Structure 1
């Protein structure tokens, strides 16, 4: 009787083992498919352009006012992956066709100070922000945009040519301009 129980138990374990091996084989097949897909995505990602920058204004004191609209040149660079931002001219140049995200922060100091700032794409206005500081401290404004760019398109920041618009900066980098490629098209 004991031999029959052992044989019966052995048969049950063999069947269970067979089922486990089939399940393991299925899991291994799915794992191999996942590994192949991850490797494919890594290859695709490696071929995609990498573009991201963040720059700040250098200098202390007031920026402006200017008699004509003036491009802001953010000469301090926190990062410039892909070298699409030119810190000598203040222009971002799209290295590839794609959808990009841009943001800026501007600041002014002092009561009754006006500030204004434009963001341009290929010399066409994208964003215009302005405000007034109603207290003695720093006043900030920020904005952001998602925009489709073609290879070679430019984006830059400008201060309006008005006698009452000016920004303020110091070593704390209150005025910044940043952007990155969300995805290529």
Structure 2
């Protein structure tokens, strides 16, 4: 669709996540799936699997994800990131540790680019009980942001990337 000029590259997203903490300190989260547009017959994505595309623990925080769902299913990534926060990591550190786990577990040649790195991207949206947030991605880009809304209004914040370059780097 992007190659055909039907949609701009910056709009080529199918999954979204929203996490929140209310005035009472209760946490919630939702991750949508891309739906029928990119549906592969017989495939169950990571969004409906608790711990993969979304995990919420009211005592700790919430993590949702977009990107290659199979990587999240294999690593139970959202659960893992919440557990890292439970151990005392900040949302940023928990997200980066989770991305490093995905990178180190990605060993099949069909999933690696010419540099031997994952040929896909994964992003996490992290929120802890204190209301601290982070957005992290396997591959960072100055052009990608996530939104945060507080009592002071809405703002965009940049994703922090684990790896330089692009998943498609030769």
Please say whether Structure 1 and Structure 2 have the same fold, judged by a TM-score greater than 0.5.
Answer: no
Normalized per residue, the structure richer in strand is: 1
Which structure has more relative contact order (CA 8 Å, sep 6+)? It is: 1
TM-score when normalising by structure 2: 0.26
Largest Rg, 1 or 2: 1
